[in-house]
C-alpha cells in the first residue's frame, strides 16, 4: 500500500526534526522531505511530489501566508498550517484557512507532546487526503466568496420570531468559509445562533471579529454566562465546550473544559446534546463540512425531539465526514448545498413560527 507523502516546511531545524519524529510511528505516512523556507519547498515539491504540506507561518525570505497564496494559485495542494498559535498571530492563522489551508494545528511544544501531535496530525492527513475534493480544489477553501450581500445591520425582519426559537450550527474542516457563506446570507433580525467550529484557541476570537465585520448579524466569541440575544451569533471559544441553558425566557451559554468529545473541544455534540431539553419545533440545527462524526449523534437526538435538521451536501463539503455521518444515521431532514443552507434555516424557522 502506497504511503501518504508529506513535506515539512519550517525554518526551525528543531521543529522539522520534531514533526518528523512525531510522524515516524504513523505507518501509512512518509515524510519525504523537509524545507527551511518556501524557496527550498518549491524545489522539493518538484522533486518529491508530496501529497500534502505542513507549513509554518513565520519564516524568513518569504512568510508562510505569501507562499500559501502562490501555492494555491500555481500548484494547489492540501496544506496543514503548523504554527505556534497565540493571540498575536491568530489573524494570520485565520487568513491561512481563508486562503486555502485545510487545517491549522499547534506545533509540538516539546518531546512530551510528540505522540499526541503525531496521532492528531496523522489523523488529519488521512482524512484530508482520503477526500478527493481537497487536493487541487482551492475554490472549496476560500476562492469562492459568498455573492450574497448581507442585510444592513439593524434592519427588521417581518417575521415575528418567538423567544424560544434558536439556531445551532456545527462545522470543522472547511468550516470558516462555509460559515461565512451561511451567516452573511442571513438577515440581522434572526433568532439567536450558537456556532461550534473546530478551531484552536485564540483563533476563534479573530474569526468572530471578522464575521462580525462581514455579517448583518452581530457576532462575538462566547463568554461564560452570555445571554443569547436576537440578531446575535455566539462562537464557541477554542478549547472550551459550549453548552446551552434556558433561563426563563432567554437562552444562556456556559463554557467548560470537560474532556474532549470525538477528539474535539469544543465539540458539536456537546452543544447539541445540551439543547435537548429545549428542542422541538422551535429549533433549527445544521451540520456543515468537517472530518469525523462529531455532531451526528446530537443532531439525531435533536431531530427526534422535533427540531428541523440540515446537513451540507457532499458536492460543496470540503470534507464530507460529519454531514455524511449524520445523513447515514438518519439525523438529517434536509440536505443542501452550502449556498442554500441560509435559505433552509429561514424556511425551517418560518414553518415553526407560533409553536
Neighbouring residues of 7: CB distance < 8 A, sequence distance ≥ 6: 31, 32, 33, 34, 35, 41, 44, 45, 48, 50, 52, 53, 54
Is 11 one of the annotated active-site residues of the chain? no
pLDDT band at 254 (very low <50, low <70, confident <90, very high): very high
Please check whether residue 344 is in contact with residue 310, taking contact to mean a CB–CB distance below 8 angstroms: yes
Is 139 one of the annotated active-site residues of the chain? no
In this prediction, residues 94-114 reach a mean pLDDT of 78
Rounded to an integer, what distance in angstroms lies between the CA atom of residue 86 and that of residue 303?
A: 38
Burial bucket for residue 255 (CB in 10 Å: 0-12, 13-18, 19+): middle
Rounded to an integer, what distance in angstroms lies between the CA atom of residue 177 and that of residue 140?
A: 8
CA angle 166, 298, 326 (to 5 degrees): 105
Rounded to an integer, what distance in angstroms lies between the CA atom of residue 278 and that of residue 210?
A: 30
Query: What are the DSSP calls for 131-144, one per residue?
Result: STTTTT-GGGTTTS
Q: Under DSSP, is residue 208 helix (H, G, I), strand (E, B) or coil?
A: helix
- Using CA atoms of 27, 76, 141, 271 in order, give the dihedral in degrees to the nearest 10: 10
Give the residue with greater pLDDT, 127 vs 343: 343
Neighbouring residues of 18: CB distance < 8 A, sequence distance ≥ 6: 107, 108, 111, 114, 117
- Choosing from 294, 297, 308, 313, which is the catalytic residue? 294
Rounded to an integer, what distance in angstroms lies between the CA atom of residue 259 and that of residue 213?
A: 33
Please check whether residue 341 is in contact with residue 182, taking contact to mean a CB–CB distance below 8 angstroms: yes
Give the model confidence (pLDDT) of 160-177 as tens digits: 678 899 999 999 988 998
Q: Where are the beta strands (DSSP E) in 76-174?
A: 79-83, 103-106, 166-171
pLDDT band at 34 (very low <50, low <70, confident <90, very high): very high
- Select from 348, 290, 341, 285 the least CA-distant residue to 148: 341
pLDDT band at 124 (very low <50, low <70, confident <90, very high): confident
139, three cell numbers: 475554490
Q: Under DSSP, is residue 183 helix (H, G, I), strand (E, B) or coil?
A: helix
66, three cell numbers: 505569501
pLDDT band at 156 (very low <50, low <70, confident <90, very high): very low
Give the model confidence (pLDDT) of 37-84 as tens digits: 999 999 999 999 999 999 999 888 899 999 999 998 888 888 999 987
- Choosing from 83, 90, 106, 172, which is the catalytic residue? 172
Q: What is the pTM of this model?
A: 0.81
Q: Under DSSP, is residue 79 helix (H, G, I), strand (E, B) or coil?
A: strand
Does pLDDT of 148 surpass 50?
no
Neighbouring residues of 31: CB distance < 8 A, sequence distance ≥ 6: 6, 7, 8, 19, 20, 23, 24
Q: Domains along the chain? A: 4-140 (3.40.50.2300), 166-350 (3.40.50.180)
The pLDDT score that the predictor gives to residue 145 is 38
- Choosing from 83, 146, 198, 313, which is the catalytic residue? 198
The pLDDT score that the predictor gives to residue 352 is 53
- Select from 280, 278, 206, 191 the least CA-distant residue to 238: 206
Please check whether residue 32 is in contact with residue 54, taking contact to mean a CB–CB distance below 8 angstroms: no
Q: Under DSSP, is residue 285 helix (H, G, I), strand (E, B) or coil?
A: strand
Give the model confidence (pLDDT) of 185-196 as tens digits: 999 999 999 999
Is 313 one of the annotated active-site residues of the chain? no
Amino acid at each position: 500500500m502506497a504511503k501518504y507523502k508529506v513535506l515539512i516546511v519550517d525554518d526551525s531545524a528543531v521543529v522539522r526534526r520534531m514533526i518528523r519524529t512525531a510522524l515516524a510511528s504513523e505507518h501509512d505516512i512518509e515524510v519525504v522531505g523537509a524545507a527551511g523556507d518556501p524557496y527550498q519547498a518549491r524545489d522539493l515539491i518538484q522533486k518529491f511530489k508530496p501529497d500534502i504540506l505542513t507549513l509554518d507561518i513565520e519564516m524568513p525570505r518569504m512568510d508562510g501566508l505569501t507562499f500559501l497564496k502562490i501555492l494555491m494559485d500555481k500548484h494547489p495542494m492540501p496544506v496543514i498550517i503548523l504554527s505556534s498559535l497565540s493571540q498575536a498571530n491568530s489573524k494570520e492563522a485565520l487568513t491561512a484557512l481563508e486562503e486555502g489551508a485545510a487545517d491549522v494545528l499547534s506545533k509540538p511544544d516539546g518531546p512530551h507532546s510528540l505522540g499526541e501531535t503525531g496521532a492528531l496530525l496523522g489523523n488529519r492527513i488521512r482524512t484530508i487526503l482520503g477526500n478527493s475534493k481537497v487536493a487541487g480544489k482551492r475554490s472549496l477553501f476560500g476562492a469562492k466568496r459568498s455573492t450574497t450581500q448581507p442585510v444592513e445591520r439593524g434592519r427588521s425582519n417581518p417575521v415575528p420570531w418567538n423567544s424560544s426559537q434558536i439556531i445551532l450550527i456545527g462545522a470543522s474542516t472547511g468550516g470558516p468559509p462555509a460559515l461565512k457563506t451561511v451567516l452573511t446570507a442571513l438577515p440581522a433580525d434572526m433568532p439567536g445562533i450558537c456556532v461550534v467550529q473546530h478551531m484552536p484557541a485564540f483563533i476563534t476570537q479573530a474569526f468572530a471579529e471578522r464575521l462580525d465585520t462581514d455579517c448583518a448579524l452581530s457576532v462575538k466569541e462566547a463568554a461564560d454566562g452570555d445571554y443569547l440575544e436576537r440578531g446575535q451569533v455566539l462562537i464557541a471559544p477554542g478549547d472550551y465546550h459550549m453548552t446551552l441553558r434556558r433561563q426563563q425566557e432567554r437562552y444562556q451559554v456556559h463554557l467548560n473544559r470537560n474532556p474532549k468529545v470525538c477528539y474535539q473541544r469544543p465539540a458539536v455534540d456537546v452543544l447539541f446534546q445540551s439543547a435537548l431539553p429545549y428542542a422541538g419545533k422551535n429549533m433549527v440545527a445544521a451540520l456543515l463540512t468537517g472530518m469525523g462524526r462529531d455532531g451526528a449523534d446530537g443532531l439525531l437526538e435533536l431531530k427526534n425531539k422535533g427540531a428541523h435538521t440540515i446537513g451540507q451536501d457532499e458536492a460543496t463539503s470540503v470534507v464530507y465526514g460529519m454531514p455524511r455521518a449524520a445523513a447515514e444515521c438518519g439525523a438529517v431532514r434536509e440536505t443542501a448545498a452550502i449556498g442554500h443552507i441560509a435559505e433552509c434555516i429561514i424556511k425551517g424557522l418560518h414553518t415553526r413560527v407560533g409553536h
